[in-house]
Amino acid sequence: MNDKVLSAVEHLKKRSNYLRGTLVESLADAATGALAEDDTQLSKFHGFYQQDDRDVRAERTRRKLEPAYSFMVRVRVPGGIATPAQWLALDSLATAHGNGTLRLTTRQAFQFHGIVKSGLKATIRGINDCLLSTIAACGDVNRNIMCTPLAEVSDVHEKAYETAIALSRLLEPRTRAYHEIWLDGERIEGTADSEPIYGDSYLPRKFKVTIAIPPSNDVDVFAHDLGFIAIERNGELAGFNVLVGGGMGATHGEPETYPRVADVIGFCTVEQTLAVAEQVVALQRDYGNRSNRKRARLKYTIDDRGLEWFREALFERLGFSLASPEPFEFRSRGDDFGWRRDRRGRWQLTLFIPAGRIKDTAQHRVLSGLREIARIHTGDFRVTPNQNLIVSGIADDERPAIEKLLAEFGVLELQGGSPLRRQALACVALPTCGLAMAEAERYLPEITTKIETLLERHGLIGEDISLRITGCPNGCARPYLAEIALVGKAPGRYNLFLGGDAHGRRMNRLAEENIDETGVLDMLDRLFARFTAERAAGESFGDFAARSVFAGERS
Amino acid sequence: MAAVPNPDITPPLPGEDLQVLRAAVAKFDYDQLLWASGYLAGLARATLTGAVPAEEAGQSATAETWNVFYATETGNSRRVAESLVERARSAGLDAQLQDLRDYKPKALTKVANAVFVVATHGIGEPPDGSEAFFEFWLGERAPRLESLNYSVLALGDSSYADFCAMGQVFDERLRALGATAVVDRVDCDLDFDSPAADWAERVVSRASETAKPQVSTGTRPARLHAVPKQTVPTRERPFTAEILLNQPITGRGSSKDVRHIELDLESSGITYLPGDSLGVLPKNPPQLVEAVLEAVKLGAADEVTLNGEQVALADALSEHREITVINRPLLETVAGLHDELRQVLSDRTRLTGFFGTRQVIDLLADYPKPWTAQELVDSLRRLTPRLYSIASSPDANPGEAHLTVGVVRYEEFGRPHWGAASSFLADGAGEVPVFLEPNDRFRLPDDGDAPIVMIGAGTGVAPYRAFVEHRLEHGHKGDNWLVFGERQLATDFLYQLEWLRYRRDGVLTRLDVAFSRDQAEKIYVQHRLREQSRVLFEWLERGAHVYVCGDAERMAGDVHQALVEIVQKEGGMTGERAQEYVGNLKAARRYQRDVY
C-alpha cells in the first residue's frame, strides 16, 4: 500500500458501500439530467459514464439550462461474441433509449450513446435480459476481457475463448449493488457484501486483460495491463505467454505519465491461467498507486518497483514460477475483410464498420441492414478489436440471403476503400466524451480522404498503413501503437506520432507537436515522397518512419 | 409660464409659510400644480362647511353613498371603478370604492346605490376571489333587493364565447331580485376605455339628478380625493424601456421558444414588487400587417381616420389595431357575407372552437369580403397591451425588470401565425413601451419566515423567480418549495441552472418537477402535489402560503382540485370541510393565483 494521502476517488469507493453511493437517489432526482457528483465516479463500475453534448454546452449555459447530459452505457461482451438475439435486443435498446446508433469499441464492447437518465434503468435491464451485462464495463476493476475473434479459423480459438469467459467470471465484482439498483433485486438484510478479490476499495485504476491468438495481434496484446498470448502445441492450446504492464494512457505535458508496451514474463498452462490473473490483480490491488490516479495503472507499479520485483512477488503469491516464454510470431494486426471459409466449412464475413459506428445514413443503412441479417442469421456476431464486425458461422445456403441484404442496405458499398481507411481507428471524442480536446470519430473520414489523396499521389494507396486518431492522450484507440497517430491537443490541433511497427510491438514517437491539419498533411506528404524513394525492400511505412524521422535520436 | 406666480399680488401668508409652500411645490410639474390648486381650493371650501377631505372622513355609507364595486382578475375593473369614483367625487357625489373580494355578500342588502364593474374571467367565470359574492347572489337563497338602484358595467373579451357572461348574468339576477337599473348595462371588450367612460358619465349624471344638492344643504361637502397626480408611467403614457437582453431559454429541439427579456427601467419612475406585472404595448409583426393588407386587398398607404387623425392603414394596423385575436364585432361583420360564419355565431361550441383556433388573418383571408380601409379599422378593436408577470426582484436587479416570454409562433391553416407582444419582444425590438400593472393579489407573505409553495407551469414560473430572488436578497429564512411543470426536462426547464443552484445552496427547500412528455403517461404538477400530499399538508399546517401561476383553463383548476383532495386525505376531513379549509386559505390570502 502506498503511504501517501489517498486520492479523493479512493475515499469515495471506500465509503460507497460496495458501489451503491447515492445512485438510487440520483436516479430519482427528476430536476436534473445529471447524477450527484460522487455518483458519476461510481456509475462507471456499473458500466456507464455521465457525459454531455459539448457542442451545445456554452449555448445551454446562456439559456440557463444545465449541460445536455446523457450517458454512455458500455456492454461487456467477453471476446466480443454476441448471439443474433442479443444483437436484436441491443439494437432495439439503442433505438428506444439511445441516439439510434451502436458503437463497436476497440475493446470488443458495445456502447450506447445519448441515453438520458430516465432511460438508464430500462436500458441496463434490457441488456441484462438478453444475458449481457454492463457491470465493470468501466471503473477501477477488470474491464471487458478481449480475445482474438478469429473464430474457428484457428483450432485454439474455442479453448482461448473459454478462458476469456472464465477470466471474466473470476474477475467480476461480487457486490449485489448492481442487481439491487438496476434489476430491482431485494436488498437482503444481514448479509454483508464482500469482494474476495478486489476488497472494498476495488483497484487503484482500470485493469485490462486480453488474449491474443497468433498469428494475429488484432487485440494489441502489448497495450494491456495483463496479456495472454495463446501458444499452440500439436494443434491444441498448450497455455499462454504472460505479459504485464502494457497501457496506453498518458497526460500531455506530464512526462511521468507515458504509454508502455507490456513485458513478456513467462508461460503458464491453461490450468494456471486463472490463478495467474487473480494474483496479478491482487498485486496491483495491494501495490498500485492509490494517491495519484494518473500513475495508478499496473505499468507504473512495475516501473516504480522493477519488473524483477514484480515477477518474484507474483511467483511467491502463486506458489510456483512461470515457465520460460514460448516463441510466438505475429504476422498481422488488421482484420481480413470479406468472406472466408473456416475449418469447419462455415463462412466468416468480416465487415468494415467505419469508426465502429453502426448507424443508418441515407446511403448506408448499416443498423437496419444488420438488424435484418440478425433476424435470419444462425451463427453469431463478433466485434473485432479493430472496431469491425464479423458475421460468423454462416452456412452455405444462408450466404445468398445475407449478401442480398448487404447490397440492399448499402453495407456492401461501404466495404471498399484503401487499406489505410479500413484499418483506421478512432475513439468517440467530441461531442460526448468529456476528456476529448479535439475531434476524432467525426474527423476520421475527412482526414482519411485527405491522406488517401497523398497516398495516391505517391503511388502508395495499396499500402497497409495503420492510422489511429484519438481526441485526447488517454489512448482509447491505442494510438501509440499505430504507424501514424494523431492525438488531440486542442480543437483542430494534434500531436503527430510516427513509426509504430505493423504488428503492434513497437510504439511510435512524437514527430510534431500541436500542429494543425495542414501541418499534418505537409509532414506526411514529404515523408511519403521519401518513403517511395528510399524504402528498403518489403519495408513497412512504420519501420521507415522510425528509422528516417528519428534518425540519430535515441529510441 | 403659467407656473410663475404673479409677484404683484401680495400673498396673505407670512414670509416663512410662503417659503414652505414654495419649497413644497418646487418640483411640481404643470399637471401637479393644477391639481394642487384644486386641492387647496377644496380645503378652503371645507373650512367653510366644517368638512374634511376624504382621507380623514370615515367610510360610513349612507343612503346617498354610491358604492362602486369591482371584481377584477387583471386590474382592469379596478381601474374603471377607480376612475368612476374619481368622476363621481368631482361631481360632488359621495362615492366609495369596494373590492368584491373583501365584501360580505349579505351587506348588499343595506346598500341603496350600487355600481358594479364586473369582469368575466376564463370561461364565463367570476374573477378569482369574488366567487363567494356571486354564488350568494346568484343562489336560491338570495334575498330581494327592491330598494337597490344599480348599474352594471361588464368587462370581457369578445374572443370568448362567454363574452361578458358574469356581468350579464348578474345584471339579470339583480333585476329579477327587484333592483332598479338606473343605467342599462354596458358590455365592454378589451378596448373598454371609451365605452366605460361613456357609461361612467351616464351613471354620474343619473346619480347627480337623484342626489340632493349637497353644497346648498351643507350636509355633505364636495369631496376631494387626495390622490397625487401620477408621475409614474401609465398605459396611456408608457415608459419606453430599452431591451437589455433577449435570450432564448429553451434548449434546441424544444417545442417552445421562451425568451428571458431584461428591460432597463432606470429613470422610468416605475417601482414594482415581486408579483407585479408589466404591461407591454407591442407593434404587430410587420409580416402580419402585410398579410392582412394582402388578404383585404388594401394598400399600406390608404388613409384612415383614427381618433380624429389621418393615419396610413399600415400604421393603424401595426400600432393601433388588434390583428391577432378576433373580436366578435369583426366576426359579425364578416359573417354578413358568409352563412357558415353565421352558423358559427349561433353555436356556442363552434364559436368557442373558432375563437380558440383562428386569428384575424384566418378570418380575413378565408372569408373574403370587400373592405374599405376605414371599415376595416373600425371593425377591429384597439390594440391592447399584454401583461407579463415580472420575473425579477427589483432589489436584486435595481433599475431592471425581467420578463419570461413564451413566443407564440405557429403554422396553421397553411399560414404563419404570431403573437403580437411576444413576437415584438423576441424579434429584435430595441425598445418597448411599458407600464406597471400592480398585483396586490399575488404577494409574498409579510412574514419572511413563512413557508411558501410556488406552483407553476411554463412561463408561470416567472413570478417565482422574482419571489426567490427577493427572499434571498432580503435574507428571509422561510422555506421555499417550487413545483414546476413543462413538457421536457432536456429543453424546457425554465431557469433550470438558477433553481438547481438555489436548491444546492438551500434557498430552495424543495424542488419538484413534472415533465409531461418524458414518459408514456402524462405527468403534470398536480400529480407531483398528490405524490407529496403528506408534506404539502404539513406545510399548510405550519402556515405555508400557496401560489399558483400559469394556465387558467387546465392547470389552475386541476391544482385546485388536487389541493382540496390533499387536504381532505391528509387532514382526515370531509370533502365539504376540505373545501372550507382551502376557502379559508384563500380568505387569509394564503392561497393566491395569477392565472391567465
pLDDT digits (tens, 9 = 90+) for A271-313: 999 999 999 999 999 999 999 999 999 999 999 999 999 999 9
| Interface residue A412 vs chain B (CB under 8 A) | no
Q: Among residues A244, A245, A246, A238, which one has the least CA distance to residue A268?
A: A238
Q: Is A530 annotated in the active site?
A: no
| Interface residue B513 vs chain A (CB under 8 A) | yes
State which residue of chain B sits closest to A63, comparing Cα positions: B249
Please provide the average confidence, as pLDDT, over all residues in chain A.
Answer: 95
Whether the predicted pLDDT of A351 surpasses 70: yes
Name the least confident of A171-175, A184-188, A404-408, A519-523: A184-188
Helix (H) or strand (E) holding A9: helix A8-15
Q: Is A488 helix (H, G, I), strand (E, B) or coil?
A: strand
State which residue of chain B sits closest to A52, comparing Cα positions: B490
What angle in degrees, to the nearest 10, is found between the helix axes of A84-97 and A366-376? 140
Instruction: Report the C-alpha gap between B265 and B398 in whole angstroms.
Output: 9
Interface of A with B in 7-66 (CB under 8 A): 30-33, 56, 59-66
Query: Across the interface, do A118 and B248 touch by the CB < 8 Å criterion?
Result: no
Q: What is the pLDDT confidence band of residue A151, given thresholds at 50, 70 and 90?
A: low
What mean pLDDT is predicted for residues B24-49? 59
Instruction: Report the C-alpha gap between B422 and B248 in whole angstroms.
Output: 12
State which residue of chain A sits closest to B514, comparing Cα positions: A30
Cβ partners under 8 Å of residue B370, min gap 6: none
Name every chain B residue with its beta carbon within 8 A of the beta carbon of A60. Answer: 251
Instruction: Report the C-alpha gap between B90 and B92 in whole angstroms.
Output: 5
pLDDT at B104: 81
Name the least confident of A143-152, A513-522, B285-294, B536-545: A143-152
Which cell goes with A77?
Answer: 461482451
Q: Among residues A469, A495, A484, which one has the least CA distance to residue A524?
A: A484
Whether the predicted pLDDT of A144 surpasses 90: yes
Q: Which DSSP string corresponds to A125-144?
A: HHHHHTT-B-TTSSSSSB-P
Name every chain A residue with its beta carbon within 8 A of the beta carbon of B249. Answer: 63-65
Which cell goes with A137?
Answer: 464495463
Residue A153: Cβ within 10 Å count: 18
Query: Across the interface, do A31 and B496 touch by the CB < 8 Å criterion?
Result: yes
What is the interface size between A and B, counted as CB pairs within 8 Å?
Answer: 53
Count of CA atoms in the C-beta half-sphere (13 A) of B334? 25
Pairing of strands A81-82, A380-383: antiparallel
pLDDT at B553: 79
Name every chain B residue with its beta carbon within 8 A of the beta carbon of A33. Answer: 489-490
Q: What is the pLDDT confidence band of residue B37, given thresholds at 50, 70 and 90?
A: low
Cis ω before B14 (30° cut-off from 0): no
Which cell goes with A26?
Answer: 440520483
Whether the predicted pLDDT of B5 surpasses 80: no
Instruction: Report the C-alpha gap between B359 and B378 in whole angstroms.
Output: 17
| Interface residue A238 vs chain B (CB under 8 A) | no
Whether the predicted pLDDT of B33 surpasses 80: no
Name every chain B residue with its beta carbon within 8 A of the beta carbon of A62. Answer: 247
Which cell goes with A378?
Answer: 444462425
| CA B458 to each of CA A439, B321, B454: distance values in angstroms, whole numbers, following the listed order | 37, 28, 13
Which cell goes with B228?
Answer: 397625487
Q: Is A433 annotated in the active site?
A: yes
Instruction: Report the C-alpha gap between A285 and A283 in whole angstroms.
Output: 5
Instruction: Report the C-alpha gap between B20 and B265 in whole angstroms.
Output: 33
Cβ partners under 8 Å of residue B308, min gap 6: none
Residue with grid cell 501458444, as numbered in its chain: A231
pLDDT at B298: 96
AA letter at A179:
H
Q: Evaluate whether B115 touches B203 at the Cβ level (below 8 Å).
A: yes
Query: Across the interface, do B500 and A61 touch by the CB < 8 Å criterion?
Result: no
Residue B191: Cβ within 10 Å count: 17
Residue with grid cell 482526414, as numbered in its chain: A447
pLDDT at A372: 98
Q: Is B164 helix (H, G, I), strand (E, B) or coil?
A: coil
| CA A536 to each of CA A435, A532, B60, B120: distance values in angstroms, whole numbers, following the listed order | 40, 9, 115, 94
Q: Is A143 annotated in the active site?
A: yes
3-state DSSP helix/strand/coil % of chain B, to nearest 5:
40, 20, 40
Instruction: Report the C-alpha gap between A110 and A104 in whole angstroms.
Output: 5
pLDDT at A477: 96
pLDDT digits (tens, 9 = 90+) for B571-585: 999 999 999 999 999
pLDDT at B217: 37
Instruction: Report the C-alpha gap between B37 and B224 in whole angstroms.
Output: 12
pLDDT at B193: 83
Instruction: Report the C-alpha gap between A289 and A199 in whole angstroms.
Output: 15
Q: Among residues A408, A222, A174, which one has the least CA distance to residue A330?
A: A222
Which cell goes with A294?
Answer: 494518473
Q: Which DSSP string corresponds to B185-204?
A: -EEE-S--HHHHHHHHHHHH
Query: Across the interface, do B494 and A118 touch by the CB < 8 Å criterion?
Result: no
Which stretch, A377-381, B25-29, B32-36, has highest mean pLDDT? A377-381
Please provide the average confidence, as pLDDT, over all residues in chain B.
Answer: 87
Which cell goes with A116?
Answer: 438520458
pLDDT at B94: 87
Q: Evaluate whether B393 touches B473 at the Cβ level (below 8 Å).
A: yes
Whether the predicted pLDDT of B138 surpasses 90: no
pLDDT digits (tens, 9 = 90+) for B211-246: 654 443 333 333 344 444 446 899 889 999 999 999
Name every chain B residue with its beta carbon within 8 A of the beta carbon of A56. Answer: 251-252
| CA B293 to each of CA B288, B290, B413: distance values in angstroms, whole numbers, following the listed order | 9, 5, 18
Q: Evaluate whether A32 touches B500 at the Cβ level (below 8 Å).
A: yes
Which residue in A30, A65, A116 is closest to B251 by CB distance?
Answer: A65
Which stretch, A138-147, A246-255, B337-346, has highest mean pLDDT? A138-147
Instruction: Report the C-alpha gap between A340 and A349 in whole angstroms.
Output: 6
Residue of A455 and B60 predicted with greater confidence = A455
Name every chain A residue with its beta carbon within 8 A of the beta carbon of B527. Answer: none
| Interface residue B495 vs chain A (CB under 8 A) | yes
Q: What is the pLDDT confidence band of residue B58, given thresholds at 50, 70 and 90?
A: very low
Instruction: Report the C-alpha gap between B326 and B159 in whole angstroms.
Output: 6
Q: What is the pLDDT confidence band of residue B40, given thresholds at 50, 70 and 90?
A: low
Q: Is A130 annotated in the active site?
A: no
Residue with grid cell 458503437, as numbered in its chain: A103
Residue of B23 and A196 predicted with greater confidence = A196
Tell me, what DSSP letter sits at residue A36?
P
Instruction: Report the C-alpha gap between A123 and A47 in whole angstroms.
Output: 11
Name the least confident of A55-69, A184-198, B273-287: A184-198
Instruction: Report the C-alpha gap between B253 and B219 in whole angstroms.
Output: 71
What mean pLDDT is predicted for residues B357-368? 95
pLDDT at B341: 94
| Cα dihedral B410→B412→B416→B421 (10° resolution) | -50
Q: Report the share of chain A in percent with pLDDT over 90.
A: 93
Instruction: Report the C-alpha gap between B175 and B169 in whole angstroms.
Output: 10
- Name beta bridge partners: B71: B118
Q: Is B411 helix (H, G, I), strand (E, B) or coil?
A: strand
Q: Evaluate whether A229 touches A165 at the Cβ level (below 8 Å).
A: no
Whether the predicted pLDDT of B500 surpasses 60: yes
Residue with grid cell 446523457, as numbered in its chain: A70
Which residue in B248, B489, B498 is closest to A33 by CB distance?
Answer: B489
Whether the predicted pLDDT of A508 surpasses 70: yes
Q: Which DSSP string corresponds to B38-69?
A: HHHHHHHHHHHHT---GGGS-----TT-EEEE
Q: What is the pLDDT confidence band of residue B102, given thresholds at 50, 70 and 90?
A: confident
C-alpha B131: how far from chain center: 17
Name the least confident of A48-57, A371-380, B81-90: B81-90
Instruction: Report the C-alpha gap between A503 and A483 in whole angstroms.
Output: 10
pLDDT digits (tens, 9 = 90+) for B522-546: 999 999 999 999 999 999 999 999 9
Whether the predicted pLDDT of A152 surpasses 90: no
